[in-house]
Chain A
């Protein structure tokens, strides 16, 4: 599963999820709820870029 990076440097890793914000480990980027924003800086998903 792909990792996605926020312009602030935070990387969403599907293997880890984002438990602090209710995202279970194993949640693919595509399956994140629309309301999920960067837990570090608050940016919306459209600003993220896929990590090669």
Chain B
């Protein structure tokens, strides 16, 4: 199936697939992504969101297969990030810069900051409804989900929610709907949540409560990336509910890097200790795993052991990269322990403990430090650390 894709009567997905992208601002997109844009045809023709710069002509071609793009009467911008607004200048140039551009208050401010243009911004707020020809649109501001400008557009007659980045997935393929792809899409949706929305989990909880209160009848959810949820939109809503609760699973991660195999030996032994307590565990070397894949595993991990050798009085740079990334996404409800080998000063464990403290993770103890190369008794301490982590997690889960 190629674009445009009909999603309802007179409503089309006219966005583009980016098959080649593998690094989306530091997030690994192993199956590319899509920039979804939607055309609503009627007495007035409305474009909801656009695509990343460089894909403009392809989007215009998609629209041309349905109608003359010049006949677009207005644009709705749900989100200013450049993968969705990058082609707004091209569209406005084509349709006339005086045409209305609907967006949130912060959207108007942010679009101006991006494109330095005084377009005909029509600011809409939560609960506002706009009727354009025979189509009605209502708006819900979703500030910081995940930018200040983010909003949802809902079509009450068609019962379609255009949810901006929320409920999206980085996936490019020949499937366009949840019923075509099935369960295969869920790992992509999960990775998206963990890497883009996790730190706003309390906002997600509040938003889901608001949506429930509003009693919106949602027949279809059209996010700005990936497939459209038409068969079972409740499935992704309930997944968001679950992920945003951040309830820990009986699962631990051992995240580490090593210079001369000493911290690696410690990591493997801690892993064995965790396994001996029958807790699911994953050993993740920061130079083998992409930070965004580690983050996806962090989402429901109840316990984390993080190991780093001490390099030049600090933590190993690749571990620092991953820790900075994890910290920014503010995962909650974690039990943690640090470990690492060192040569003379050995600051890494102390630095990691400080990071845990700042993230409000519960430390099981001060961690394990080993001079140069672990011996049998050091490894026994590592095994015990794994056991302690696992036992502490099990106790927490049984409370």
Contact indicator A8/B199 (Cβ below 8 Å): no
B135 at the A interface (CB under 8 A):
no
- The count of chain B contact residues (Cβ–Cβ below 8 Å) is 8
A33 at the B interface (CB under 8 A):
no
A1 at the B interface (CB under 8 A):
no
Q: Write the chain B residue with the least CB distance to A38.
A: B144
Per-position contact with B for A1-26: 1 when CB-CB < 8 Å, else 0? 00000011110000000000000000
Contact indicator A9/B143 (Cβ below 8 Å): yes
A51 at the B interface (CB under 8 A):
no
B282 at the A interface (CB under 8 A):
no
Residues of chain B lying within 8 A (CB to CB) of residue A41: 144, 148
Contact indicator A9/B105 (Cβ below 8 Å): yes
Per-position contact with A for B142-179: 1 when CB-CB < 8 Å, else 0? 01100010000000000000000000000000000000
Contact indicator A10/B143 (Cβ below 8 Å): yes
Contact indicator A7/B148 (Cβ below 8 Å): yes
Residues of chain A lying within 8 A (CB to CB) of residue B70: none
B347 → chain A closest CB, angstroms: 26
A34 → chain B closest CB, angstroms: 15
Residues of chain A lying within 8 A (CB to CB) of residue B330: 42
Per-position contact with A for B304-341: 1 when CB-CB < 8 Å, else 0? 00000000000000000000000000100000000000
User: What would be 17 A-B contacts, judged by CB atoms less than 8 Å apart?
Assistant: A7-B148, A8-B106, A8-B143, A8-B144, A8-B148, A9-B105, A9-B106, A9-B143, A9-B148, A10-B143, A40-B143, A40-B144, A40-B203, A41-B144, A41-B148, A42-B199, A42-B330
A-B contact sample (15 more), CB < 8 A, given A8-B143, A9-B105: A7-B148, A8-B106, A8-B144, A8-B148, A9-B106, A9-B143, A9-B148, A10-B143, A40-B143, A40-B144, A40-B203, A41-B144, A41-B148, A42-B199, A42-B330
